[in-house]
Amino acid sequence: MEHRNVLRVVDLHKSFRGHEVLRGVEFDLAPGELFGIIGENGAGKSPLLRVLAGELPADRGDALYAGRLGYCPQKIVLNDELTPDQHLALFRRAYGLRSLEHANQLVERLGYERHRSVKAGLLSGGTRQKLNLTIALMHDPDVVLMDEPYQGFDWDNYLNFWSIAEELRDRGRSVLIISHLAHDTARFDRLHKLREGRLTTEEAVDPPAVGAPALERTAIEQATADGEPAVGKPSTQKGTRTATAKATGATRRPEPPAARTVGAVRKTVGRAAATARKVTGA
């Protein structure tokens, strides 16, 4: 890997049941870059990010990174019996952090301080996503992979998310964001489209004119299910894991100790949730 690149993806292939979803995906990600990948539903965006994060093995190819990796998946796995504070305490140990100072700043920035002691199962979808994002960023990673990271956010939190992403870029972090929305592409330094398993370069689209903010707001609110439901309604969201991950591909780098620890935390969280369901009869 060249020094200037913190993520290099080379000839990445992935198939499911004989259907080739990724067909030789290649790109580099440099420090201080906000990189976007868009595509229609079913184009293979989430499988690509899961391969990059180490959740799925590649059939062929390499995904290599340098530094700490943060991963915010589209689908969220939280222990419904644990509060946000308890989740952060678990991941503090997993990441080997001395304190939760940065995590606390993110909680305040994302505006869910009053829900820190509420069990995750009673949080709204938007608040669960805020916790998901906090877990991905609390260790100040060098490379951040995010899949639809603003799902469930209302308009103000959507703008807040982009402010955080741009600050990460300005601090020299490398940020890759996957989305099916193409109206806000001017925010990216580079933009690619995943089509038929391959990446193609896309032109950035300028944001709506100042005189037409309602159009942009309406599009986002529709895409995020018109903001967050009220706290207290149990979430029905199911999905994959939240954690840092290893490089993956035909030739894998050894899994770092931090990733192994995070994997153990994920398993512990899952076992605790299953035990709680058995005890309560849920």
The class (CATH top level) of 7-280 is: alpha beta
Domains of the chain, by residue range, sit at: 7-280
DSSP state of 272: H
- Residue 124's nearest CA partner among 228, 203, 23 is 228
**Phi-psi label, residue 18: left if phi above 0, alpha if psi -120 to 50, beta otherwise:** left
Q: Kindly report whether the global pTM for this prediction surpasses the value 0.95.
A: no
Kindly report, residue by residue over 124-178, the tens digit of the pLDDT. 999 999 999 999 999 999 999 999 898 889 999 999 999 999 999 999 999 999 9
pLDDT at 203: 66
Tokens of 211: 């005189």
Task: Kindly give the residue spans of alpha helices, DSSP state H, lying in the chain.
Answer: 45-53, 84-95, 101-110, 125-137, 155-170, 213-223, 257-280
Distance CA 83, CA 64 (A): 34
- Residue 270's nearest CA partner among 116, 124, 78 is 78
Kindly report, residue by residue over 7-58, the tens digit of the pLDDT. 999 999 999 988 899 999 999 999 999 999 998 887 889 899 999 999 999 9
Distance CA 29, CA 76 (A): 25
